Amino acid sequence: MYETQQKRPRALAVALDSGEYDVENSLCELSDLADTAGIDVVLKVVQRKEGADNATFVGKGKLEEIRQLIENEQIDILLFDDELSPVQIRNIEELTGLASVDRTMLILDIFAMHAKTREGEVQVELAQHRYRLPRLMGAGKAMSRLGGGIGTRGPGESKLESDRRHIQRRIQFLQSDLKKIENHRELTRKNRLKTGIPTVAIVGYTNVGKSTLLNRLTGAQVLVENKLFATLDPTARKLALPDGTTILLVDTVGFVSRLPHHLVKAFQSTLRESAYADLILQVCDVQSDQLPLQLETTKATLDALDIGDTEILTVFNKCDNTECMQRIPAGVQRDKYVAVSAKTGFGLEQLCARIADILRRDYLPIDVVLPFSQGQLETVLRDYGQITSLDYTADGVHITGRCRQEHAHLFAPYQK
């Protein structure tokens, strides 16, 4: 029996250089995204122009050059490093005869490949329908040409609806379904608060070793692959710190540069884990040539999530040798980062100690006797602090534990 390996499509990547961002880095990232989706980028074309052409994105002359390259290089698909309008998609495909996939469609396809939970599947399908709805009029030919490839994967996507009203009804259903899932997640968060277990969110650029770090610290069995967005759904695991404190480590979906705002919004419920955390670990790949981009992308995404004054500890991962340490940007304050190797275990003890130290700043030890008339304070401690011991005496309830600094004044009158 002979096994036949499916040939990977050959793609030509197209970018517009208007001076707003680093086009070279962005195209490298687009190539990585394409590789994850099973596409080989064999050629890159950059059009230097102040703004996109409304009809063809790169202009008719440049598009004619691209058409010649398609014939000469046997290109199967065009990838665009920006989001295309329905008119642009139609005109480009009519002039080149090839399917055109923009950055958003490519990311959505990868999301669809890796969504495993119900929440992930709903978020992906909802984002896909919102993307496609304005593109149905005039883009039907483009969609049909894609067949079973990019942009057609995912829950329910094999039956792409051509009726706009049907898609709108589907969007309404998915929104309702996602709302129920978000309510359940919110209830889980509240229960988490009641346990008094601090939450530490692991965030960062996709494929920097977040899942490897989670596995190494907690013994979890989270999928680890050298691909972008290998894990899409958040994973939470308990971790005991050196001082005896138990925390909950939450691994979130990876970030990517220039992620369209509506995609950030689509995954708001998942990414919100970062906003609710007591501490955020910003993981970066110190060996990557795109380290500055990783830092910039993570900051921009966290700003969009409105994390407030939650403290951020940068974790420079993949510090496997002394040369790697020299790649850490000089501008990062020493007390704001830890260098580790999730692969070898280097620096992980120091990381756990730093996490414990930071979390201790938010909590104060208490030893109080609460009068029976102050039962509401016991509720406050259960919901927002941690109770170590509780004993009912003739004078009231003797409680030892920890409370958040903002609640310390409530317990001060009753300290032993």
How confident is the model over 306-347, as pLDDT tens digits?
777 788 999 999 998 777 788 888 878 888 899 999 989 999
Q: Is the pLDDT of residue 220 over 70?
A: no
Query: Would you state the pLDDT for residue 222?
Result: 52
Interatomic CA distance for residues 193 and 178, integer angstroms: 22
- Choose the weakest-confidence range: 137-141, 175-179, 381-385: 137-141
Which pLDDT score, from 0 to 100, does residue 270 have? 63
Q: Which CA distances in Å does 415 have to 196, 361, 368, 390?
A: 20, 19, 4, 14
Residue with the larger pLDDT of the pair 70 and 188: 70
Asked if pLDDT for residue 1 goes beyond 50, the answer is: no
Eight-class DSSP state of 307: -
> How confident is the model over 371-411, as pLDDT tens digits?
999 989 988 887 677 788 899 999 899 999 888 787 888 99
Q: Report the pLDDT value the prediction gives residue 267, as an integer from 0 to 100.
A: 66
Does the pLDDT value for residue 46 go beyond 90? yes
As a whole number, mean pLDDT of residues 61-88 equals: 92
**Which region among 256-265, 281-290, 356-365 has the lowest average model confidence (pLDDT)?**
256-265
For the cut 80, the answer to whether the pLDDT of residue 369 exceeds it is yes
* Helix/strand/coil for 404: strand
How many CB atoms sit inside 10 A of residue 357's CB?
13
Residues in binding site for GTP: 204-211, 229-233, 251-254, 317-320, 341-343
In this predicted structure, which of 33-47, 100-114, 140-154, 316-330 has the lowest mean pLDDT?
140-154
Q: What residues pair up with 364 in beta bridges, in sequence order? A: 403
Instruction: Give the C-alpha separation, 215 to 200, whole Å.
Output: 15
Task: Go through the domains of the chain in sequence order and give each one's CATH number.
Answer: 8-187 (3.40.50.11060), 196-346 (3.40.50.300), 363-414 (3.30.70)
Residue 349 has pLDDT above 90, yes or no: yes
Which DSSP helix (H) or strand (E) runs through 370? strand 363-370
| Binding annotation | 204-211, 229-233, 251-254, 317-320, 341-343
What pLDDT sits at residue 160?
A: 46
Alpha-helical regions (H) of 261-330: 261-266, 268-275, 291-305, 322-325
Cα radius of gyration rounded to whole Å, the chain: 25
State how far the Cα of 226 lies from the Cα of 141, in Å rounded to an integer: 35
- Kindly state the average pLDDT of the residues 201-218: 86
What's the mean pLDDT in 64-74? 91
15 pLDDT higher than 50: yes
- Percent of the chain clearing pLDDT 70 (strictly above): 82
pTM: 0.70
Where is pLDDT greater, at 297 or 173?
173
Q: Which tokens in the block code for residue 22? A: 């680093």
Mean of all residue pLDDT scores within the chain: 81
pLDDT score for 261 = 65
Residues making up the binding site for Mg(2+): 211, 231
Query: Per-residue confidence at 17, pLDDT binned at 50, 70, 90?
Result: very high
pLDDT band at 161 (very low <50, low <70, confident <90, very high): very low
Choose between 237 and 144: higher pLDDT. Answer: 237
Cα distances (Å, whole numbers) of residue 323 to 252, 257, 355: 29, 26, 25
Question: What SS3 class is residue 390?
Answer: strand
Q: What average pLDDT score do residues 159-169 get?
A: 68
Average pLDDT over residues 68-81: 92
Q: Is the pLDDT of residue 144 over 50?
A: no
The mean-pLDDT minimum among 16-20, 37-41, 178-182, 342-346 falls in 178-182
Tens digits of residue pLDDT in 84-103: 998 999 999 999 999 899 99
The whole-angstrom separation of Cα 364 and Cα 274 is 23
Residue 125 vs residue 119, higher pLDDT: 125
pLDDT band at 218 (very low <50, low <70, confident <90, very high): confident
| Average pLDDT over every residue of 39-51 | 92
Question: Which pLDDT score, from 0 to 100, does residue 183 have?
Answer: 81
- Residue 292, CA distances (Å) to 116, 307, 327, 339 in order: 31, 21, 11, 16
- Percentage of the chain surpassing pLDDT 90? 29
- What's the pLDDT score for residue 52? 92
